[in-house]
Amino acid sequence: MQIKSPEFKQSARIALQDVNLQKALGNLKAGFPGKRASAVARMPEFDQLRDQARDLKNHILEHLDLYLDEFEARVVENGGQVHWCRTADDARQTILQLCREQDAKTVTKGKSMVTEEINLNEYLEENGIRPVETDLGEYILQLRGDHPSHIIAPAIHLNLEDVSETFHQHHHRPKSDDPAVLMAEAREMLRKEFVAADVGITGANFLIAETGSTMIVTNEGNGDLTQTLPKTHIVVSSIEKVVPTLEDASLFLRLLARSATGQEFTVYNTLSSGNRRPDDQDGPENFHVVLVDNGRSDMVGTQLQDMLRCIRCSACMNHCPVYGAVGGHSYGWVYPGPMGSVLTPQMIGIEKAGLLPNASTFCGKCEEVCPVRIPLPKLMRHWREKEFEKHLSPKAVRWGLGSWAFFATRPTLYRMFTAGASRFMRILGGKKGTIKKLPLAAGWTDHRDMPTPTGKTFMQQWQARQQQEKR
């Protein structure tokens, strides 16, 4: 996927004008947050579970190597194989190699953000293998040559009409605006692919160390067909998905569905434990787990370690007023919203992603809803510090900040400056209460008036009052 994060401002501007996108974002805002709120209200112990989940994730991250080793040992006992990949490129090559071993022409795929992160689809295509997305949203996007704009509802930026048009073009059937008809159409098309596929690739929501199982949660059941029908099942997962026990996974499951869609439980919770045994009715002959690091182990032991607690529920973006205004594509890479503004700089570099952690008012709503209590604003500020240290912040910002700080650290000069600035604005404002156009503050006055200071500064007035009292 092409990196467009440096163009965040332009993309956001376009997105704000895009009527269809705004309509789709309106649906998102009207849906997920309300559903989450009522699910949370039905569960009095929700906040307690969040504390437990945070603590458990912290514990896992302290012992990440141990749990991953245990996981690998169990996978091997179950007859599978684990492949450790430090970079995105290692992961792509490993997966390609595994597909080639099967002489694969077609691979079916369940929804997986980490395969977006490593740009898997394009890589497979370049190498003559046809990936077929089987999650409905991902399938629509693949037909359109588009990318996810949301981590659990990838096609949330589209409206029903868009889907209808896309299906009409690709399926050559009469147009329909009935979701049930469209769904049936997709199902019919995908069924052939499920049967024809040589390899099935899925992501993982959890890796269970004690059993060597991988787990996915879906609402469509497409993941089950992707992983049971082909001869080979490849699970692609990032390293921080490991949890010690099944019991632990259930703690996260309770939080995940409620935080994401407001469901009590996701519809399909599927465990894969190795390849088919002699008396199993179905299942793949080969079972592989590709573990992707891609910068994550560098986060361990730093302030960013907290970000590795993320269970990819999407609550932070569903509640984010900035995401809600500009949509996921504006962020210009795989992960949008607050969690993306923390992760993206780590993965593509702060030089390219600097605009993302700045695109926040620090309103704190994301942290308020995050099920594993990730201090997202604090982590975004961490990136702003890095940016400032590296002298990457725009010159005008540094200059403005520098001159402001010069005065702010010299109270007497500061008094003189504010008195002058107040007077200047009062002259500009004339007899009116607001200024329509203020030099150096176009960002403000292009969209709103600037209320004029109502008189001399408080400090001037206070001093005058004190002196009067003394007399």
Binding site for other proteins (CB under 8 A): 9, 12-13, 16, 321-322, 325-326, 358-365, 367-368, 381, 383-389, 393, 397, 401, 404-405, 407-409, 411, 414-415, 418, 421-423, 426-427, 429-434, 441-444, 446-459, 461-462
434-463: buried (b, 16+ CB within 10 Å) or exposed (e) per residue? ebeebeeeeeebeeeebebbeebbeeeeee
359 is an interface residue for ligand SF4 by CB under 6 A: no
Q: Reduced to 3 states, what is the DSSP secondary structure of residue 216? A: strand
Of the two residues 25 and 239, which places its CB atom closer to other proteins in the complex?
Answer: 25
What is the total residue count of the chain? 471
Report angle CA 313, 314, 317 to the nearest 5 degrees: 160
Shortest gap between Cβ of 402 and other proteins (angstroms)? 8
311 is an interface residue for ligand SF4 by CB under 6 A: yes
Q: Any idea which residue has 């991953």 for tokens?
A: 68
State the Cα–Cα distance between residues 312 and 264, nearest whole angstrom.
16
State the Cα–Cα distance between residues 141 and 158, nearest whole angstrom.
9
34's contact among ligand SF4, other proteins, none, with CB below 5 to 8 A by partner kind, is none
State which of residues 140, 313, 359, 379 lies at the interface with ligand SF4 (CB under 6 A). Answer: 313
Strands 106-109 and 130-133: parallel
310 is an interface residue for ligand SF4 by CB under 6 A: yes
Of the two residues 64 and 189, which places its CB atom closer to ligand SF4 in the complex?
Answer: 64
Of the two residues 252 and 323, which places its CB atom closer to other proteins in the complex?
Answer: 323
Q: Reduced to 3 states, what is the DSSP secondary structure of residue 290? A: strand
**Contact pattern for ligand SF4 over residues 336 through 355, marking x by CB under 6 A:** ---x----------------
61 is an interface residue for ligand SF4 by CB under 6 A: no
**Left, alpha or beta for 312 (phi > 0: left; psi -120 to 50: alpha)?**
left
Shortest gap between Cβ of 405 and other proteins (angstroms)? 4
- Site residue total, ligand SF4 (CB under 6 A): 13
Residue 369 token pair: 């809803």
Q: Reduced to 3 states, what is the DSSP secondary structure of residue 133? A: strand
423's contact among other proteins, ligand SF4, none, with CB below 5 to 8 A by partner kind, is other proteins
Of the two residues 274 and 345, which places its CB atom closer to ligand SF4 in the complex?
Answer: 345
Of the two residues 276 and 384, which places its CB atom closer to ligand SF4 in the complex?
Answer: 384
Region from 194-202, 206-214, 244-252, 311-319 binding ligand SF4, contact rule CB under 6 A: 311-319
State the Cα–Cα distance between residues 98 and 89, nearest whole angstrom.
14
State the Cα–Cα distance between residues 219 and 266, nearest whole angstrom.
6
Of the two residues 234 and 315, which places its CB atom closer to ligand SF4 in the complex?
Answer: 315
How large is the C-alpha radius of gyration of the chain? 26
Of the two residues 76 and 408, which places its CB atom closer to other proteins in the complex?
Answer: 408
What is the sign, positive or negative, of the torsion defined by CA atoms of 338, 340, 341, 343? positive
Binding site for ligand SF4 (CB under 6 A): 259, 310-316, 339, 370-372, 374
